[in-house]
């Protein structure tokens, strides 16, 4: 019998199964990530991830999935312009609700090294851990760096097969990231960290076939909560197989036919490669939006100056975001032509509330989008877009953008995230609350505790 | 991008993916299971499963895994001779702790049609649901029948591949069973039941490589809690893919290379095929224990009347439960020879506290076990045992037992479960409490509410 075979190993005093390289690496990261290992630039990037997560989650609190989830615990719950407080006996529940809120709009950050959304499992787990064990702003940022890094290390060694097999990496690999971040905040020992990784591996779940349903954001909330539990249980002496990730019949073997042979070596911390969504539309429209915005800023052309606009994108875009004549606000999100018209007319593509059915029928935009042609070709990046603007009079202006490449200009990225956050939290946060949140996160590295941060996001 | 592809389907008004046969069957079972569908014999078996679950969980509350789990939520928690109450805002937590308690001793029921332990995810989820929505004793028993049946339906169509691939069916398939039982108690509509099944499928987790650690019972607790959540979320309008079990990249496709082509047709309800452990030792020793007990009862021989005892078992036992000269109480659990000596001397093999190091060194038992020989041969069942007792004077008595075959004599099974329950809850329940619990479960079918049951197990 299965269970007795395992018990027998204990009886016979069998040695712990050999520890794998990946768990070794992760446990070391969870323990050491904080010391002097994390460079300032990574912490700066973690600050960006935190701001973006907070704003997207605050905006996401209005979504039906989040309301249902919050009311399951507290039938009287009403959206109040803040996240559920991370303190008290309901902390795991808060992590679940806030984690779901962060992903409910699908507007949160992405990292191709993990094949998913890195912050949404990691940040709520780290915040809940910080509410349990006081920590400084710098420690929290380090924990976020550790969480992103753990996800990337696992995602890279799992390779594309895990995602291709049908697993939603944000839910599965995200559980490991959440455990790693929480373990770092809680100060787990090396042995505890290994058990936490095993407990995360055996709870990791989430199927890609749930995309398009409320279960998708649920995966993120569950990953955050399960990761937090993994770290807290391990801290109290709860045990798990110490090679649950890469060992025999472990996470990798069961869900992606084993690890790639060699770990990927990157000189950049994963959090530096985290990408942000700045437009509340399909991600494959973002490069074209950015390219046209850059062209218009450079040329200062007005909508009526444009005779024709050609948008060159990879062929994969055709089945995803090439609705030629959208009739509803939701369809606009998947219409390169209509989005180009919005950019030309100065509409705020970040605004969640912009995508109304009236917008889809706006006569000026409908007329203008007739000037736009979408053309397919193989570009340097499958996510890139080259926009050719033909002005009246014959001048042609061209710009190529690729939102798949991390921004190197961090001050510009911060400004863009602030603008996005302001746009999406309008109507959610009381006046002045957004500015206070930005100030708090700007100065986080110098704060000895996180009381102001928790206050800024939960009240 | 992945996420947008799903959103696009919604945009284009794509029809719901086709509903699979298994989800259809399960949803029908969850809805109709109660009406007149469940025969009395199945409800009788559910009563047995409930008694066994309650006693094993009550005894399991003393285990370290459960203490750690319970104190994570309430640092002041102390074992008090009862389960954590299923009521109030902490109900999901109670399900997690009580679910873990039910599996912490690995002494709970098994069902080979699900390839796992059927009751431990199902009973706590059904009890928590019953605390939310008053139901009768008969409805609770029906829900347990539904839960066992759902697990068997999934387990049979998943085939052996799921377990062989490294998944702990009690954790994974158990989530479906827990959702089905809770959905039945909550009275979910057909559409809600389908979403609940999707939500269960996408949360299902648990790796077999965790056997021998505290993570194994955690799987059972998580399955119970996740299944309860699946049903409660679906009841409130939370959505999931309606073919998350058998659809493309769903539970079956990702975790057992798809369903077997045809469902297994059984004329017996799964709960009738549920087997019980009656000895706190390795399951592979149970047939030999039962065979020797039967022989001794028949022949009324005393230990000193026995000249030699031959135990014939399948070769697979050798590496599992054939420790010839155990030195510790734990090793005794894996020693056919020492267990035979215990039976011959009338020791209570059900008693969790019997397996001490002193027992392993008891001079009388050590001398007697020298008369026992374990012999390997291919028997009609891999779990069976044939015991040959050679008495002084030349008489030979033979008995074959197979604990892998469900008992048909239900009154005898009930008496055996009562005896086991009494033995393992001694020292846990206050005097008289066990008898009250048995009486309560005996009369459950005629109770209009479950207040006495909840009181009997939690206070």
Task: Express each pLDDT in B323-338 by its tens digit.
Answer: 999 999 989 999 999 9
What pLDDT does residue A15 have?
A: 32
Contacts of A205 (CB under 8 A, 6+ apart): A171, A172, A175, A219, A222, B202, B203, B204, B205
Q: What is the DSSP string of A95-152?
A: HHHHHHHHHHTS-S-BBTTTTB-SHHHHHHHHHHHHHHS---HHHHHHHHHHHHHHHH
Q: How far apart are CA B68 and CA B64, in angstroms?
A: 6
Which own/partner contact pairs does B362-368 have at CB distance under 8 Å and 24+ positions apart? B364/B303, B365/B338, B365/B341, B366/B325, B366/B338, B366/B341, B368/B303, B368/B306, B368/B341, B368/B344
Partner-chain contact B330 A11, CB within 8 Å: yes
Task: Inform me whether the pLDDT recorded for B7 exceeds 80.
Answer: no
Partner-chain contact A213 B229, CB within 8 Å: no
Which of B165, B219, B238 is facing A65, going by the closest CB pair? B238
What pLDDT does residue B259 have?
A: 86
Which of chain A's residues have a Cβ under 8 Å away from the Cβ of B89? 73-74, 90
Q: How far apart are CA B72 and CA A441, in angstroms?
A: 30
Smallest CA–CA distance, residue B255 to chain A, in Å, is 7
Are B289 and B320 in contact by the 8 Å Cβ rule? The answer is no
Partner-chain contact A331 B11, CB within 8 Å: yes
Are A193 and A232 in contact by the 8 Å Cβ rule? The answer is no
Partner-chain contact A209 B248, CB within 8 Å: yes
Kindly list the distances between the CA atom of residue B72 and the CA atoms of A30, A131, A232, B88, B97, in Å, as whole numbers in the listed order: 21, 14, 8, 17, 10
Partner-chain contact B4 A165, CB within 8 Å: no
When scoring B202, B218, B329, B382 by the number of chain A Cβ atoms within 10 A, the one with the most, hence best to mutate, is: B202
Nearest chain B residue to A91, by CA: B73
Mean pLDDT of B64-86: 92
Task: Inform me whether the pLDDT recorded for A52 exceeds 80.
Answer: yes
Task: Inform me whether the pLDDT recorded for B201 exceeds 90.
Answer: yes
Residue showing tokens 């996470």: A251
Size of interface A-B (CB pairs under 8 A): 241
What pLDDT does residue B13 have?
A: 37
Smallest CA–CA distance, residue A317 to chain B, in Å, is 9
Residue % of chain A over a pLDDT of 90:
80
B164 touches chain A (CB under 8 A): no
A10 touches chain B (CB under 8 A): yes
Q: How far apart are CA B221 and CA A202, in angstroms?
A: 13
B261 touches chain A (CB under 8 A): no
Name the band, by pLDDT with cuts 50, 70 and 90, for residue B20.
Answer: low
CA nearest neighbour of A205 among B244, B78, B276: B244
Partner-chain contact B11 A248, CB within 8 Å: no
Partner-chain contact A215 B333, CB within 8 Å: no
Residues 187-216 of B with CB under 8 A from A: 198-199, 201-216
When scoring A205, A225, A382, A404 by the number of chain B Cβ atoms within 10 A, the one with the most, hence best to mutate, is: A205
Residue showing tokens 């809690």: B225
Which of chain B's residues have a Cβ under 8 Å away from the Cβ of A68? 233, 236-238
B20 touches chain A (CB under 8 A): no
CA nearest neighbour of A53 among A100, A123, A111, A114: A123
SS (H, E, C) chain B: CHHHHHHHHHHCCCCCCCCCHHHHHHHHHHHHHHHHHCCHHHHHHHHHHHHHHHHHHHHHCCCHHHHHHHHHHCCCCCCCCCCCCCCCCCHHHHHHHHHHHHHHCCCCCEECCCCECCHHHHHHHHHHHHHHCCCCHHHHHHHHHHHHHHHHHHHHHHHHHHHHCCECHHHHHHHHHHHHHHHHHHCCCHHHHHHHHHHHHHHCCCEHHHCCCCHHHHHHHHHHHHHHHHHHHHHCCCCCCCCCCCCCCCHHHHHHCCCCCCCCCCCCCHHHHCECCCCCCCHHHHHHHHHHHHHHHHHCCCHHHEEEEEEEECHHHHHHHECCCCCCHHHHCCEHHHHHHHHHCCCCCCCHHHCCHHHHHCHHHHHHHCCEEEEECCCCCCCCEEEEEEECCCCEEEEEECCCCCCCCHHHHHHHHHHHHHHHHECCECCCHHHHHHHHHHCHHHCCCCHHHHHHHHC
When scoring B100, B117, B207 by the number of chain A Cβ atoms within 10 A, the one with the most, hence best to mutate, is: B207
Which of chain B's residues have a Cβ under 8 Å away from the Cβ of A330? 7, 10-11
What pLDDT does residue A404 have?
A: 92
Are A171 and A293 in contact by the 8 Å Cβ rule? The answer is no
Partner-chain contact A10 B212, CB within 8 Å: yes
Mean pLDDT of B192-199: 97
In this predicted model, which residue has the larger pLDDT, A5 or B409? B409
Mean pLDDT of B247-257: 92
A325 touches chain B (CB under 8 A): no
- Starting at the edge strand found earlier in the chain, the sheet holding B372-376 runs B372-376, B306-313, B385-391, B396-401
Domains defined along chain A, listed by start:
2-275+437-458 (1.10.4100.10), 283-401 (3.30.1330.120)
Are A73 and A97 in contact by the 8 Å Cβ rule? The answer is yes
Partner-chain contact A241 B209, CB within 8 Å: yes
What are A403-429's pLDDT values in tens digits?
A: 999 999 999 999 999 999 999 999 899
Mean pLDDT of A299-308: 96
What are A422-452's pLDDT values in tens digits?
A: 999 998 998 899 999 999 999 999 999 999 9
Mean pLDDT of B149-167: 92
Name the band, by pLDDT with cuts 50, 70 and 90, for residue A10.
Answer: very low
Residues 69-98 of A with CB under 8 A from B: 69, 71-74, 89-90
What pLDDT does residue A17 have?
A: 33
CA nearest neighbour of A449 among A121, A61, A139, A116: A139
Which of chain A's residues have a Cβ under 8 Å away from the Cβ of B74? 89
Say how many Å lie between the first and final Cα of chain A, rounded.
53
Name the band, by pLDDT with cuts 50, 70 and 90, for residue B302.
Answer: very high
Q: How far apart are CA B325 and CA B362, in angstroms?
A: 12
A232 touches chain B (CB under 8 A): yes
Partner-chain contact A320 B106, CB within 8 Å: no
Longest dimension (CA), chain B: 86
What pLDDT does residue B261 have?
A: 67
Per-residue tokens: B370: 């020298």
Partner-chain contact B215 A232, CB within 8 Å: no
Nearest chain A residue to B164, by CA: A249
Are A218 and A121 in contact by the 8 Å Cβ rule? The answer is no
Name the band, by pLDDT with cuts 50, 70 and 90, for residue B14.
Answer: very low
Pairing of strands A396-401, A372-376: unpaired
Contacts of A314 (CB under 8 A, 6+ apart): A376, A377, A378, A379, A381, A382, A383, A384
Mean pLDDT of B410-436: 94
Mean pLDDT of B109-127: 96
Which of A2, A11, A211 is facing B3, going by the closest CB pair? A211
Residues 373-432 of B with CB under 8 A from A: none
Are B347 and B299 in contact by the 8 Å Cβ rule? The answer is no
A333 touches chain B (CB under 8 A): yes
Partner-chain contact A216 B3, CB within 8 Å: yes
Which of chain A's residues have a Cβ under 8 Å away from the Cβ of B68? 233, 236-238
What pLDDT does residue B36 have?
A: 64
Task: Inform me whether the pLDDT recorded for B126 exceeds 90.
Answer: yes
What pLDDT does residue A11 have?
A: 43
Coil/strand/helix, residue A207? strand
Are A203 and A230 in contact by the 8 Å Cβ rule? The answer is yes
Mean pLDDT of A351-358: 93
Mean pLDDT of B217-225: 98
Are A231 and A183 in contact by the 8 Å Cβ rule? The answer is yes
Per-residue tokens: B251: 């539970």
Residue % of chain B over a pLDDT of 70:
95
Task: Inform me whether the pLDDT recorded for B2 exceeds 70.
Answer: no
A75 phi, psi to nearest 5 deg: -60, -20
Which of B65, B236, B333 is facing A68, going by the closest CB pair? B236
Which of chain A's residues have a Cβ under 8 Å away from the Cβ of B236? 68, 71-72
Partner-chain contact A10 B236, CB within 8 Å: no
A239 touches chain B (CB under 8 A): yes
Torsion of CA A378, A379, A380, A383, to 10 degrees: -110
Coil/strand/helix, residue A92? helix
Which of chain B's residues have a Cβ under 8 Å away from the Cβ of A69? 233, 238
Are A240 and A234 in contact by the 8 Å Cβ rule? The answer is yes
B207 bridge partner residues: B167
CA nearest neighbour of A181 among A203, A136, A150: A150
**Which residue stretches of A165-256 are H helix?**
169-186, 190-203, 215-235, 251-256
What pLDDT does residue A20 have?
A: 56
Task: Inform me whether the pLDDT recorded for B4 exceeds 90.
Answer: no
Range name among A36-45, A133-142, B54-63 with the lowest pLDDT average: A36-45
CA nearest neighbour of A231 among A31, A87, A36: A31
Mean pLDDT of A21-50: 87
Q: How far apart are CA A243 and CA A13, in angstroms?
A: 18
Are A143 and A126 in contact by the 8 Å Cβ rule? The answer is yes
Per-residue tokens: B404: 């892998």
Partner-chain contact A8 B90, CB within 8 Å: no
Task: Inform me whether the pLDDT recorded for B252 exceeds 70.
Answer: yes
Q: How far apart are CA B122 and CA B225, in angstroms?
A: 10
Residues 347-376 of B with CB under 8 A from A: none
H or E stretch including A309? strand A306-313
Task: Inform me whether the pLDDT recorded for B18 exceeds 50.
Answer: no
B24 bridge partner residues: none
Are A283 and B1 in contact by the 8 Å Cβ rule? The answer is yes
Mean pLDDT of B291-302: 96
Nearest chain B residue to A63, by CA: B238
């Amino acid at each position: 019998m299965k269970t007795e075979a395992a018990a027998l190993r204990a009886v016979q005093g069998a040695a712990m199964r050999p520890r794998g390289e990946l768990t070794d690496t992760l446990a070391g990261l969870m323990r050491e990530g904080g010391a002097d290992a994390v460079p300032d630039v990574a912490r700066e990037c973690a600050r960006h991830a935190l701001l973006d997560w907070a704003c997207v989650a605050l905006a996401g609190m209005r979504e039906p999935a989040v309301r249902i989830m919050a009311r399951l615990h507290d039938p009287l719950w009403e959206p109040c312009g803040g996240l559920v407080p991370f303190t008290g006996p309901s902390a795991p529940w808060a992590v679940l609700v806030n984690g779901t809120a962060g992903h409910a709009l699908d507007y949160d950050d992405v990292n191709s090294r993990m094949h998913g959304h890195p912050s949404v499992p990691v940040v709520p787990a780290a915040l809940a851990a910080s509410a349990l064990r006081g920590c400084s702003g710098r420690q929290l940022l380090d924990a976020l760096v550790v969480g992103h890094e753990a996800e990337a290390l696992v995602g890279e060694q799992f390779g594309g097969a895990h995602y291709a097999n049908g697993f939603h990496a944000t839910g599965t690999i995200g559980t490991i990231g959440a455990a790693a971040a929480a373990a770092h905040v809680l100060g787990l020992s090396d042995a505890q960290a290994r058990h936490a990784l095993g407990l995360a591996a055996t709870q990791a779940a989430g199927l890609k076939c749930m995309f398009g349903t409320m279960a998708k954001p649920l995966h993120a909330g569950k990953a955050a909560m399960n990761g937090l539990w993994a770290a807290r249980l391990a801290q109290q002496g709860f045990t798990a197989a110490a090679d649950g990730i890469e060992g025999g019949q472990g996470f990798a073997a069961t869900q992606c036919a084993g690890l790639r042979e060699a770990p990927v070596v990157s000189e950049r911390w994963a959090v530096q490669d985290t990408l942000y969504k700045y437009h509340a539309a399909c991600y494959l429209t973002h490069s074209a939006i950015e390219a046209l915005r850059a062209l218009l800023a450079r040329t200062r052309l007005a909508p009526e100056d444009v005779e024709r606009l050609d948008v060159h994108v990879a062929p994969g875009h055709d089945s995803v975001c090439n609705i030629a004549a959208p009739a509803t606000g939701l369809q606009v999100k998947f219409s390169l032509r209509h989005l180009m018209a919005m950019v030309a007319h100065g509409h705020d593509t970040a605004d969640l509330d912009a995508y109304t059915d009236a917008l889809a029928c706006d006569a000026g935009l409908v007329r203008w989008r007739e000037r736009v042609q979408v053309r397919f070709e193989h570009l340097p990046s499958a996510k890139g877009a080259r926009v050719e603007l033909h002005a009246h009079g014959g001048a042609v202006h061209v710009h190529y953008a690729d939102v798949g490449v991390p921004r190197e200009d961090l001050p510009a990225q911060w400004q863009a995230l602030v603008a996005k956050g302001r746009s999406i939290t309008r109507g959610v946060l009381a006046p002045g609350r957004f500015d206070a949140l930005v100030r708090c996160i700007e100065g986080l590295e110098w704060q000895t505790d996180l009381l102001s941060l928790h206050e800024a996001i939960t009240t």
